[in-house]
Chain A
Amino acid sequence: DTGVSQNPRHKITKRGQNVTFRCDPISEHNRLYWYRQTLGQGPEFLTYFQNEAQLEKSRLLSDRFSAERPKGSFSTLEIQRTEQGDSAMYLCASSLSGGGYSPLHFGNGTRLTVT
């Protein structure tokens, strides 16, 4: 178990640019989640995948955000035409589906700063 890996750890971009983040989940986990966290707040749900299928997206998620999980392995989160309000920590988590209620296991996040 090597844990959830996220890259890059930090990203600074100018407003209007596109950015892409990558998440590599724990290998045997079939569910993958993206959350966003701002300072002093708890993680806010963005979207989740079971295998390669994107099963739920937050109603608050702008059309500028898109996520993929090709072949049910790693996932990418792209933000187009970034805005200053997109500055946050983007967290990826993975879990096992099945009969039990498996907790989320988080990576250490990608911190995005939009200038």
Chain B
Amino acid sequence: EDQVTQSPEALRLQEGESSSLNCSYTVSGLRGLFWYRQDPGKGPEFLFTLYSAGEEKEKERLKATLTKKESFLHITAPKPEDSATYLCAVHNYGQNFVFGPGTRLSVLP
């Protein structure tokens, strides 16, 4: 059965303090790994898709990387507006997307 775990469960950073979020996965056949941002009371917002080990994607202060077993979301010099829950999901060779439980990030001014 496909599984996605994320760590840490919650993370508090000072503004400007860089860190990384982890997404570990087991999947029968990976078609893509996706990162989403979710604000309270809203639906997840798409950030990145990664398809193969070694691939990297960047957007503003966020950078996502992928290995055969895990993905990292690196946050460089975060700002308070980066506070959100970050979700990781894998797309397998069925058509389902399996989500992890998320990491709740708080960035303090």
In the assembly, what is the distance between CA of A4 and CA of B42, in Å? 12
B83 to chain A, nearest CB (A): 16
Please tell me the number of chain A residues within 8 Å of chain B, measured between CB atoms: 26
Given contacts A42-B87, A43-B99, A101-B49, whether A56 and B94 have CB atoms under 8 Å apart is: yes
Note all chain B residues with C-beta closer than 8 A to A55.
Answer: 95
A-B contact pairs, 8 of them (CB 8 A): A41-B102, A42-B101, A101-B51, A101-B91, A104-B34, A106-B36, A108-B41, A109-B42
The 9 A-B pairs of least Cβ separation, nearest first, read A106-B43, A42-B99, A101-B32, A103-B46, A108-B43, A43-B99, A42-B101, A106-B44, A101-B31
Instruction: Choose among B4, B45, B98 the residue that contacts A106 (Cβ–Cβ < 8 A).
Output: B45
Since A41-B101, A43-B44, A44-B99 are in contact, a sample of 17 more A-B pairs with Cβ atoms closer than 8 Å, ordered by chain A residue number, is A4-B43, A31-B95, A33-B97, A41-B102, A42-B89, A42-B99, A43-B99, A45-B98, A48-B96, A50-B95, A103-B32, A104-B34, A104-B89, A104-B97, A108-B43, A109-B42, A109-B43
Interface size bracket, B side: 20 to 34
Is A25 among interface residues, defined by CB-CB distance under 8 A? no
- CB within 8 Å of A: which residues of B? 4, 6, 31-32, 34, 36, 41-46, 49, 51, 87, 89, 91, 94-102
Note all chain B residues with C-beta closer than 8 A to A6.
Answer: 43
Q: Which residue of B lies closest to A33 (CB)?
A: B97
Q: Which residue of B lies closest to A106 (CB)?
A: B43
Q: Which residue of B lies closest to A103 (CB)?
A: B46
Note all chain A residues with C-beta closer than 8 A to B96.
Answer: 45, 48, 56
In the assembly, what is the distance between CA of A101 and CA of B96, in Å? 12
Note all chain B residues with C-beta closer than 8 A to A33.
Answer: 97
Task: Mark out the residues of chain A between 1 and 25 whose CB falls within 8 Å of any chain B CB in the assembled complex.
Answer: 4, 6
Note all chain B residues with C-beta closer than 8 A to A43.
Answer: 44, 87, 89, 99
